[in-house]
Amino acid sequence: MSNEPAAGLAGRRISAELCRENFKDLVAPLHPNEARVAAERCLFCYDPPCVAACPTEIDIPLFIRQIANGLPVAAAKTILDANIMGAMCARVCPTENLCEGACVRESSEARAVEIGRLQRHATDALLASGRQLYRAGPPTGQRVAVVGAGPAGLSCAHALARAGHQVTIYEARPKGGGLNEYGIAAYKVTGDIAQAELAYVLAVGGITIEYGKAIGRDITLANLRVEHDAVFLGLGLGGTNGLGFGEVPAGVSDAVAFIAALRQAPDKTVLPIGRNVIVIGGGMTAIDAATQVKLLGAECVTIAYRRSKAEMPASRYEQDVAQVRGVLIRENLVPVAFESADGAVSGVTFERTRSEGDRLVPTGERVTLAADQVLTAIGQTLLASDLADSGVSFENGRIAVDSARRTSLPGVWAGGDCVAGGSDLTVAAVADGKAAAASILAALQSAAVPEHAGA
Amino acid sequence: MADLRSSFAGITSPNPFWLASAPPTDKAYNVIRAFKAGWGGVVWKTLGEDPPIVNVSGPRYGAIHGSDRRVIGFNNIELITDRPLEVNLQEITQVKRDWPDRAVVVSLMVPCEEPNWTAIIKRVEETGADGIELNFGCPHGMSERGMGAAVGQVPEYIEMVTRWCKAATRMPVIVKLTPNVASILPPAEAAKRGGADAVSLINTVNALMGVDIDQMAPWPHIDGYGTHGGMCGSVVKPIALNMVSAIARHPATQGLPISGIGGIEKWRDAAEFMALGAVNVQVCTAAMAYGFKIVEEMIADLSEWMDQKGYARTEDFVGLAAPRKTEWQHLNLDYVVKAHIDEDLCIKCGRCHIGCEDTSHQAITSLKDGQRHFEVIEEECVGCNLCAVVCPIENCITMVPLREGDVDRRTGLKVGGHRTWLEHPNNPMATSPRPAKYAAE
């Protein structure tokens, strides 16, 4: 094993100037002239495949036509009518797998209309205009609790507030936005866009956020049900999977926490970074962690994934984002042990695997890669303790819901990453919140609701 | 290699591409640049009498933009040259001396009195120019003073002034026509009666390009006010083609040489004008949008196309399409086409479907076996061409003629025969109505 001594983690591997350069917008905003040219490429398809591919069903050809015709703020209204988190989704949606992947120009010319960038163009114009398009409806006197101020909760809360319901959001963290604020690579969300969008959503009125209130710790679902006419659970995934190798040496940490710390750091360069970093995992978290650690000055960053590259949950585009910044992606490596020296990690031993259909077959061949820092990104979990004894039913470790996002408990809905069967995307969480809100609105209007709520 | 040399009303040029009388030909500097770039000839920007006219110093031009801000329609309110007559005449003399193989024609516009025309023509003759073009076309500004289109809209004036000019000069006289008339034929006939050696058309079309809805004034505006101008560019090409073809096949004007003008940007536009009977073409807007270099494409590609088709000289194809232009009443009502969608080329945008479904004949599917699929329903298709026109992919949708004896599934009748409206039984005025060749079964 070519094990160099761990040089130790250190901050300030790059200058403040280089940091600014490295963490500027991953995708630059469209210049107005570019936007017009990009918009004119849209064919205004009948029964548009891009809309069918959008979980929130934004009327994409319509908003693009509005941009082409010179009214980006009107375009933004079309977007937000369907997806109140349109500004963030424009930046973080894997559009290559959604709208842009379905664009007829993608199949015919291998170059889709730039829907994501156009959506950002429109929503940026709206935010810059300072105009508020929505306001809370006349008060109904009914109260709804929303757990979690992430995309699902905010989307649900916004729709309920517009209908006149009094919404209280209980948020465990000190800031709202959920993963938009804590879980996305910094270069995708420049300009504090997550907070700007949160402020826009809350400005509708009728929504209160109580920060530092975690379900299972500060509040209970039972109490929420008593005190509200309906409850929406959008608490996300509070836990992360570990590798289960026993004692974890220094220098090994959780990629989700790393990404969150980086986002919240006033000065990113002070975060301790290794020279030789291994990121274990194959999803967006692995990509975001590996790319950012490289941009912070790590010399050698390797993503190790147990399956093949083609099977990575991170899209091809995301893989490229990491690779062009110098991240090496190694496939078919499943970790089996941490190596350490003097209590600090010095490497990771992997076993090579082979994919046989859906099955992953270990080959018995081992390889040890040197590392002075290891970030694990092997999945997030719903913390069971959050909803202990609440009576809500689970499915594959997440909350079970029906198509209207109703849980097994009357008067309780759920959506976003915490529910079973989702795709762990911001846009899917927004769609969940929207669907749940529609169901809650219908329920609150009908006479059946009071006996459910507070049961 | 095709021979592009051109002879128009006795004026020769190395190729049929001339610059029209307009800003690009206002002075020697521009014209020399044009000749260096390869243009076969110019019609010098219209000369008038001293003192020179005065142009606005506000916006003279407006435009309609297509995709990617391409100028597809262009508008101007510029008047004739605003430089002293003597300066222009000296420059014309020098340019013609330095570029003897290029055509130099001088556009003229003076008040409608014979002495005025005679006087300026004498001055132009002294320059050695190859010919004159009478500007009876400009629809803005000068027309308010009884010149330009104000003459071109009155056939009697056209004939009268043309006759004066012919009497005053040995030079070929080209009459430039305005499209701002109900029919182009009376002005063309008048030019011919007056002795014109040729006509050139079209001049610009009366137009107001837009409205500034912030200022609530026409766009563009000058100190708060706007006026109509003359529009040209690609958008007017169809108007020009129609008028050129009308003159080319009208018995009274047949054979009168035509210089085609209106939205010519590329070799193909030129080939279309010439196929309908224009001997040469004149260009302005495309040069103003892209510079003089565009003539290189026109020369190279017209030549290439002629080689492909086996046309050795431009005369070999000039006018070949003119006899096929006819009146609606002569079209074959027994001819039937059906749209056909090439499934391999189709990108499934569905525009053909929604256009047909919303606005026409409900003749294109959107689904087949639950899948997105666009296919022509022959039972409903009237062959209108809408789908082919709106399809973003060239040649994806084609109009396929049914063969003699095929059954048109829309009418249930066999296809065949040749009846025009003049022979159709539904025409109460038909002198010799005929039944369909194949009776209903």
pLDDT in tens, B57-104: 999 999 999 988 899 999 999 999 999 999 999 999 999 999 999 999
Query: How many angstroms separate the CA atoms of A316 and A326, rounded?
Result: 15
CB B259 within 8 A of CB B199: yes
- Beta carbons within 10 angstroms of residue A373's beta carbon: 26
Strands (E), A285-327: 300-304
User: What is the set of active-site residues of B?
Assistant: 138
Q: Is the dihedral of CA B19, B23, B26, B32 positive or negative?
A: negative
CB A56 within 8 A of CB A82: yes
Angle between helices A60-68 and A72-82 (to 10 degrees): 170
Q: Distance between terminal CA atoms of chain A? A: 63
Of B69, B350, B393, which is closest to A45 when you measure between CB atoms? B350
Give buried/exposed letters for A140-177 (b at 16+ CB in 10 A, else e). Answer: bebbbbbbbbbbbbbbbbbbbbbbbbbbbbbbbbebbb
pLDDT at A1: 35
Q: What percent of chain B has pLDDT over 70?
A: 100
A52 interfaces chain B, CB cutoff of 8 Å: no
A43 interfaces chain B, CB cutoff of 8 Å: yes
Q: Nearest chain B Cα to A36, which residue?
A: B68
Contact A45 B67 (CB under 8 A): no
Query: How many angstroms separate the CA atoms of B248 and B275, rounded?
Result: 10
- A-chain residues near B392 (CB < 8 A): 43
What string of DSSP letters covers B230-282?
Answer: EEESGGGHHHHHHHHHHHHH-TTTTT--EEEESS--SHHHHHHHHHTTEEEEE
Contact A107 B392 (CB under 8 A): no
Lowest mean pLDDT among A366-370, B132-136, B429-433: B429-433
Taking the CA of residue B349 and the nearest CA in chain A, the distance in Å comes to 5
The pTM score is 0.92
Q: Nearest chain A Cα to B391, which residue?
A: A43
- Beta carbons within 10 angstroms of residue A55's beta carbon: 23
CB A373 within 8 A of CB A345: yes
B439 pLDDT tier (thresholds 50, 70, 90): confident
B436 interfaces chain A, CB cutoff of 8 Å: no
Residues 49-108 of B with CB under 8 A from A: 67-69
pLDDT at A159: 98
Residues 147-176 of B with CB under 8 A from A: none
A49 interfaces chain B, CB cutoff of 8 Å: yes
Collect all residues with Cβ–Cβ distance below 8 Å to A159 and sequence separation of at least 6.
A84, A433, A434, A437, A438, A441
Of A33, A43, A47, which is closest to B392 when you measure between CB atoms? A43
Taking the CA of residue B221 and the nearest CA in chain A, the distance in Å comes to 21
Contact B349 A40 (CB under 8 A): no
Q: Nearest chain A Cα to B69, which residue?
A: A37
> Mapping DSSP to helix (H, G, I), strand (E, B) and coil, where does residue A258 land?
helix
pLDDT at A390: 86
A107 interfaces chain B, CB cutoff of 8 Å: yes
- B-chain residues near A45 (CB < 8 A): 348-351
Query: Does the pLDDT of residue B15 top 60, yes or no?
Result: yes
Q: What is the pLDDT of residues B287-330, one digit of tens each?
A: 999 999 999 999 999 999 999 999 999 999 999 999 999 999 99
Instruction: Check residue B3 and report its DSSP letter.
Output: B
pLDDT at B67: 86
Contact B392 A40 (CB under 8 A): no
Contact A46 B393 (CB under 8 A): no
Residues 293-312 of B with CB under 8 A from A: none
- Beta carbons within 10 angstroms of residue A326's beta carbon: 14
Mean pLDDT score of chain B? 97
Q: Nearest chain B Cα to A32, which residue?
A: B68
B392 interfaces chain A, CB cutoff of 8 Å: yes
A40 interfaces chain B, CB cutoff of 8 Å: yes
Q: Give mean pLDDT in consecutive 10-residue pieces for chain A, a chain of 455 residues.
A: 54 95 95 95 97 98 97 98 98 95 94 98 97 97 97 98 98 97 96 97 98 95 96 95 91 96 96 97 97 98 96 94 98 96 96 91 96 96 85 94 97 97 94 98 74 45
Half-sphere exposure of A166 (CA within 13 A, CB side): 8
Q: Nearest chain B Cα to A41, which residue?
A: B67
- A-chain residues near B68 (CB < 8 A): 37, 40
Of A36, A37, A104, which is closest to B349 when you measure between CB atoms? A104
Contact A36 B69 (CB under 8 A): yes
Contact B366 A46 (CB under 8 A): yes
Q: What is the pLDDT of residues B175-199, one digit of tens each?
A: 999 999 999 999 999 999 999 999 9
**DSSP H or E run through A209:** strand A207-211
B380: its two tokens: 């409903």
> Mapping DSSP to helix (H, G, I), strand (E, B) and coil, where does residue B6 land?
strand
B441 pLDDT tier (thresholds 50, 70, 90): low
Contact A108 B351 (CB under 8 A): no
Query: How many angstroms separate the CA atoms of A420 and A398, rounded?
Result: 5
Closest CA to B26 of B62, B2, B53: B53
- A-chain residues near B393 (CB < 8 A): 108
Q: Nearest chain B Cα to A37, which residue?
A: B68
Closest CA to B279 of B21, B37, B103, B45: B103
pLDDT at A7: 52
pLDDT at B1: 86
Q: Given its phi and psi angles, is residue A371 left (phi above 0), alpha (psi -120 to 50 degrees) or beta?
A: beta
CB A368 within 8 A of CB A385: no
Of A33, A45, A107, which is closest to B351 when you measure between CB atoms? A45
Query: How many angstroms separate the CA atoms of B163 and A217, rounded?
Result: 103
- B-chain residues near A49 (CB < 8 A): 348, 372
In the numeric block, the tokens 């021979």 are attached to B3
Contact A47 B366 (CB under 8 A): yes
pLDDT at A8: 78
Q: Nearest chain A Cα to B345, which residue?
A: A108
A105 interfaces chain B, CB cutoff of 8 Å: yes
Sheet holding B205-207, edge to edge: B61-65, B71-76, B229-232, B205-207
